[in-house]
Amino acid sequence: MSLLLENNRLLTDEQEREVREILAELEHRRRVNPLSFYEHLPQQRLFHDDPANTRVIYGGNRSGKTSEAAEYVITKALAKPKQRIWAVAETFPDSVGIQQRKIWEICPKNRIKYGRYDDINGFPNRKLKFDNNSLITFKSYDQGTESFAQDDCDLIWFDEEPPLEIWKECRMRLIDRNGEMILSMTSVKGVTDLIADIFEDCDIIKTRHSNILKEDLPVIAEKNGIKFYMLWSTDNPHIDQDRLRQEIKFMTRDEIKSRIHGIPINLSGRIYPTFSKNIHVIPFEMAPLNNVMLYHILDPHDRKPWAMIWVALHKTGTAYIVDEYPNRNFNDILSDDKTYDNYADIIRQKEDALKDIFGVPVSKRIIDPNFGNKAVRLAAAQDDKAHTTPKEEMKRRGFKFQDGIDALESGHLKVREWLYYEQTSGEITTQPRLLITDNCENTIRHLSRYSRKDILTADGDVKDKPGVQEKYKDFPDDVRYFVMSNPRYIIPTEYVPESVKAY
């Protein structure tokens, strides 16, 4: 028998009975309505109270991000009648074991009109309805994009990162009801299409010092009206912090940023990690107009558009990528049927405009040495030849190209040297040698996302030489061929023929 103490005094039997009744009543209320006992951590409260229609919780492992999102969903459902809410997970087992379990743990059981959770099947028919007729429907990414192309919603909650297509489709579901979207995730996939679109080059609103990494890290950020909150695992009082500190010892700095501090970091091997839109991208009007040489770099293909850039090399040695082709999203173009004559016309039009701006013609042309010298068959023999190469065909049309140097790893290192910069107290003390004007959207996008393939094999072993992702390789290849050509500014001189001596 245990007796309760009050100010070092034994409670009387009557007092002990009353205390036990109060504790039992509190426990009953906690089971019936755990939502009323939910406590926000400070950063969670800021997320909860933010009026932004789109919010993202980037949480470290066990930082409480899923619980916070689940609490917000339930609060939203109970605040007004007839709310229509989607809770979306990666797979149906994830939905049952993570999202639906968290919803069940927190939601008030006395407000449920339809739905009882079990850990095998989740909620019946993937639905939970409250007594005010607000409805939560549970969905998963593995249902495919088409399953999201209907209905309208007041709130959509993604737990872990969705495919970009599903994200875009779901945004359309919010228009009619002026709905909200929240995303809770730990970013371990790197800079994916979605992360690049919504998070890269965001504005940092608030920072906090990490005692683990000994540096200031962002905890609140914003981009295009989307708010981002980083939840730290070290703030969660409900996990074993001693065990967490032991795990941290075996993590890299990038893993700590992602898995502990919730900051999206490319763990899959971004090839140009120092490339920054804030540093390397400038308005076109800032490019120098005088004392430049123009370079043209071409990466030809046979089933997709040719990728081309034009570079203005200034006499100081700084290079400015000032134009590109195509001038729309390269990765949205599924096929290409242009002829050599078509491309010759495109190049002439581009370079006529560039000459009007910079006052000089193109001085040097560089081509991908692989496809540029690939034998291709002509539809009909010309000049007794049935086969040719892109390089030969462009020469016939007045464009003489030199082969680029195709040393992949050396080229990556060289590009990094050209992108290198240093900054102190917000001031750039060492300027990069390569800048891109803001009209070159494909070059900017590809340099931002150019990454290696998964460094792990199917068996979990680390590959010695993981390849590169082909999707964003074309324009970085152009940049690589340019810097590997050892570009130098040569003062143009007018040719004066020798005069003949008269005797």
Q: Please report, for the chain, the start and end positions of each structural domain, with discontinuous segments joined by +.
A: 34-259, 277-484
Is 262 in contact with 60 (CB distance < 8 Å)? yes
User: Token pair of 396, please?
Assistant: 């016939």
What is 34-259's CATH superfamily?
P-loop containing nucleotide triphosphate hydrolases (3.40.50.300)
Stated pTM of the model = 0.59
The neighbour count for residue 60, using CB atoms within 10 Å, is 25
Q: pLDDT in tens for each of the 503 residues of the chain? A: 445 555 556 778 888 888 888 888 777 777 778 888 888 888 888 999 999 999 999 887 778 889 999 999 999 999 999 999 999 999 999 999 999 999 999 999 999 999 989 989 999 999 999 999 999 999 999 999 999 988 899 999 999 989 889 999 999 999 999 999 999 988 766 567 788 778 876 778 888 888 888 888 888 989 889 999 998 988 888 788 888 888 888 787 878 888 888 887 754 457 887 888 888 999 999 999 999 999 999 999 888 899 999 999 999 999 999 999 999 999 888 888 899 999 999 999 999 999 999 999 999 999 999 988 888 766 555 665 657 899 999 999 999 999 999 998 899 999 999 999 887 777 888 999 999 999 999 999 899 888 776 443 334 343 445 456 678 899 999 999 999 999 999 876 544 455 554 54
- DSSP conformational letter for 96: I
User: Token pair of 55, please?
Assistant: 């919010």
Is 260 in contact with 89 (CB distance < 8 Å)? no
Is 324 in contact with 310 (CB distance < 8 Å)? yes
Q: What CA–CA distance (Å, rounded) separates 309 from 323? A: 6
Is 192 in contact with 270 (CB distance < 8 Å)? no
The neighbour count for residue 135, using CB atoms within 10 Å, is 20
- Determine which helix (DSSP H) or strand (DSSP E) holds 124, and give its type and residue range: none
Q: Taking Cα atoms as reference points, which of 161, 186, 183 lies closest to residue 56? A: 183
Is 322 in contact with 440 (CB distance < 8 Å)? yes
- Residues pairing with 377 in the sheet: 387
User: Token pair of 233, please?
Assistant: 């695992």
Is 166 in contact with 176 (CB distance < 8 Å)? no
- DSSP conformational letter for 239: S
Predicted pLDDT at 468 = 63
Q: To 10 degrees, the CA torsion angle through 40, 45, 47, 51? A: 130
Residue 227 has phi, psi (to 5 degrees) of -100, 140
Predicted pLDDT at 385 = 63
Burial class (CB in 10 A: 0-12, 13-18, 19+), 292: buried
- The residues near 316 (Cβ < 8 Å, ≥ 6 apart) are 489
Q: What CA–CA distance (Å, rounded) separates 417 from 98? A: 45
Kindly indicate whether the domain formed by 277-484 is annotated with CATH number 2.60.120.10: no
Q: For the chain, how big is the Rg over CA atoms in Å?
A: 30
Alpha carbons within 13 angstroms on the beta-carbon side of residue 159 total 31
Q: Taking Cα atoms as reference points, which of 30, 367, 57, 345 lies closest to residue 199? A: 57
- Determine which helix (DSSP H) or strand (DSSP E) holds 101, and give its type and residue range: helix 101-106
User: Token pair of 155, please?
Assistant: 């709130």
Note the residue count of the chain: 503
Q: What CA–CA distance (Å, rounded) separates 380 from 138? A: 60
Q: Where are the alpha helices (DSSP H) in 359-455?
A: 390-396, 408-419, 441-449
User: Token pair of 71, please?
Assistant: 């609490």
Q: Taking Cα atoms as reference points, which of 196, 127, 136, 126 lies closest to residue 161? A: 196
Predicted pLDDT at 189 = 62
3-state secondary structure of 324: strand
Q: What CA–CA distance (Å, rounded) separates 54 from 50? A: 10
User: Token pair of 275, please?
Assistant: 């490339």
Q: What CA–CA distance (Å, rounded) separates 208 from 92? A: 36
The neighbour count for residue 90, using CB atoms within 10 Å, is 18
